[in-house]
Amino acid sequence: MAPALLLRLLLLLVVAAAAASSSRTTRCHGYQYKASQGPLVTAVIVFGDSIVDPGNNNDLHTQIKANHPPYGKDFFNHEATGRYSNGLIPTDLIAQGLGVKQLLPAYLGADLSPEDLLTGVSFASGATGFDPLTPIVVNVVSLEQQLAYFDEYRAKLVGIAGEEETVRILRGALFVVCAGTDDVANTYFTTPFRRVAYDIRSYVDLLVAGAEAFLRNVSARGASKIGFVGMPPVGCVPSQRTLGGGVRRECEPRRNEAAQLYNARIQGMIAGLNAEQGFGTLVVYLDIYRILDELMERGDRYGFAETTKGCCGTGTIEVTGLCDSRFVSVCDDVSQHVFFDSYHPTERAYRIIVDDIFDNYIQVLI
């Protein structure tokens, strides 16, 4: 073969390889997208409780904190940032999967750069809920106050990028709302304050009404798409097995029934909002009950050896202040556990949950 012809063939191969690379398809958390697309949303903006709180409680006068070891034992530099897990939490994984950034920061108590603000933050506060009493009991940030922080945040965006760009960012952002579990697990079943006046059905009505009002408030602030996280099998969480599952620590059925009723009512409420003329926001219900039930009932299929206890201490009750390396040890192999403490999953379990969300819902949220 002539040298000139060989050179032309090599050049064609290089060009073809470059073209393939520039439009290559990447599988991220089960969702197929082209790397050349860049970020799939403008920002990720989050409201809710400890499942999505990266450290907003750190400077609050509350016992509900995770800014101490062993939390963060598998995080970058083994840092306890306030995330309620051994490593990353769902919103970090969602932000990564959407190509936005590696970590979704807390809004409070951090020196955030303009880029941090432009690409989204979390306002979530561990142990809050849709019941107005829930955050008061443990002195954390209410969802109403989270909205007030969002208004403050929006003003900062305008200062950085101007009003028109702020509107574009918010319309292109994925908003995530994750709350309700603390209402059922803590306020209703653990404290006596609500059971005097509410049975489970009427208490669920209270929560659904609170969730609807909150979604309407988020929509009014410019959200185009909202992912609303449903409730897990609350009665099978390690701490709830301990508190309500008897000597054998079985799943407690009333808590699970409350979660199932709540999820059904929430889905009906969301369908009503989406059908409402002039509402202007798509709300997508994100079911996590099914995948968490799968992990807890058939964890061995996913390589988990322990599904009923956390990794921290005895794994039966330790959470937040009780899960502290000064007083308790942690298990040898976190990857074998679905739960890190008695309430919050491990990063490995969170990855499976987020994979499931991407596989089933993300196409309609971007």
Residues noted as catalytic: 50, 341, 344
**Closest to 73 measured CA to CA, from 341, 338, 302, 314:** 341
Q: What DSSP letter does each residue of 10-53 carry, written as one string?
A: HHHHHHHHHHHHHT-EEEETTEEEEGGG--SSS-EEEEESGGG-
* Contact in structure between 54 and 104 (CB atoms under 8 Å): yes
The answer to whether 89 touches 52, Cβ cutoff 8 Å, is yes
Q: Which helix (H) or strand (E) holds 6?
A: helix 3-22
| 117: Cβ contacts below 8 Å, ≥ 6 apart | 153, 156, 157, 160
Dist. CA 20–CA 78, nearest whole Å: 38
Q: Write 19-25 long-range contacts (CB < 8 A, 24+).
A: none
Among 111, 98, 92, which Cα is nearest to 42's?
98
Write the DSSP symbol of residue 319: -
Phi, psi of 274 (to 5 degrees): -65, -30
Q: How far apart are CA 286 and CA 341, in angstroms?
A: 23
Q: Using an 8 Å Cβ cutoff, are 167 and 35 in contact? A: no
3-state secondary structure of 136: helix
118, 178 Cβ separation under 8 angstroms: no
